[in-house]
Amino acid sequence: QPPAGQPCPVFRLSLSGAMPVVVGMVPAPSATGQCSPSGIALGPSGALFISEADKIYSVMPNASTPALATVYAAGVPGTNGLAFDRHGSLWTGDGTTGQGRVWQITPDGVVTEVLRIQPMANPAGVGRSAVTLPPNTAQPLVANGVAFETDGDMLVADTARGAIWRVAFDRNGVMKDNQTGCDATFTANTLCLSRVWVAHPLLEGADGIALDRSGNVWVAANERNAIVVVAAHEGRARAVIEVLRNPPSAGTGLRNAGPLEFPTSPFLLGNKLCTANSDGNRRDNSPNSAGELGGAGAPKGKISCMDPHLSIPGLPLPVSGHGH
């Protein structure tokens, strides 16, 4: 973390273990504030898009002369996971603000709230909205990681419910009818519960998601310090499989010592699955003083990768890992 008022570096990492290379910078929010970027995506033009607070920045990576990123879109509070659809529009959810908003940002920068994932706290003052969801008592985050299937439909990770929602789009990238408006106590653009594609206890804490070439969905389940895969066939979730979870430490039974330390953003490169770790002080990662991150003089960021494989029909799975 750079000092207050200083930009955050954007690194290019090599799976070979070479030293990280700075290819750009994200501005600090103010002269006294610290930047805290979350999502990142590579755009069709080769530029990087980075979410931070209520803005999305873009920068063309350049290791020789790293540039300061510029604002691509503003007015997206809580923006977190990022994904491009096949028409070149960028999509993001509202993260820890907990309202479930999902925005589309067109190639010319127009921001539109297209839909909402049903929030845990009902804005109409009924049902579950009796709770105030203070920090560390309940998880309000429902619109987290986003990804697009090859047919153009969108998947949204619901951290609080341990679920993934599926939103259908037509060939022109317009959301199909009859997916919203099922509950008058929510906003009219809130998805119906029928759009939950899969929900499972193993997915509790689902953060970032990534799709492989077979349509299987790989999930960083940060609340459980685990990696989970949803095995899919022809667009349907067939099985939810835990690929890796931190083993309990001898004596304490805690699962906070690694290799995973609150995994957030998985990605696939060939047969290798990697994920970023944010070392959040929650659930299985609490207290977050254990492991390789967070202590005085210790690294502040880590990428964990898995490369051994177990063959399941139609699905090669990593089963153990290391992370540095």
- CA dihedral 76→27→157→90, nearest 10 degrees, is 60
For the question of whether the overall pTM of this predicted structure is more than 0.95, the answer is no
Residue 205 to residue 263: CA distance in whole angstroms: 10
Residue 65 to residue 42: CA distance in whole angstroms: 19
Q: Return the pLDDT at 234.
A: 80
Do residues 223 and 206 make contact, with C-beta atoms less than 8 angstroms apart?
Answer: no
Q: Is 271 left (phi over 0), alpha (psi -120 to 50) or beta?
A: alpha
Do residues 115 and 166 make contact, with C-beta atoms less than 8 angstroms apart?
Answer: no
166, two tokens: 């599926």
Residue 54 to residue 94: CA distance in whole angstroms: 9
CB burial of residue 113 (10 Å; 0-12, 13-18, 19+): middle
Q: Return the pLDDT at 247.
A: 95
CB burial of residue 319 (10 Å; 0-12, 13-18, 19+): exposed
Quick one: CA dihedral 282, 147, 14, 52, positive or negative? Answer: negative
Q: Return the pLDDT at 131.
A: 47
- The segments of the chain whose pLDDT lies below 50 read 129-136, 310, 313, 318-324
Q: Return the pLDDT at 319.
A: 43
Burial 74-103 (b: 16+ CB within 10 A, else e): eebebbbbbbbbebebbbbbbbebbbbbbb
pLDDT digits (tens, 9 = 90+) for 103-131: 999 999 999 999 999 998 776 666 554 44
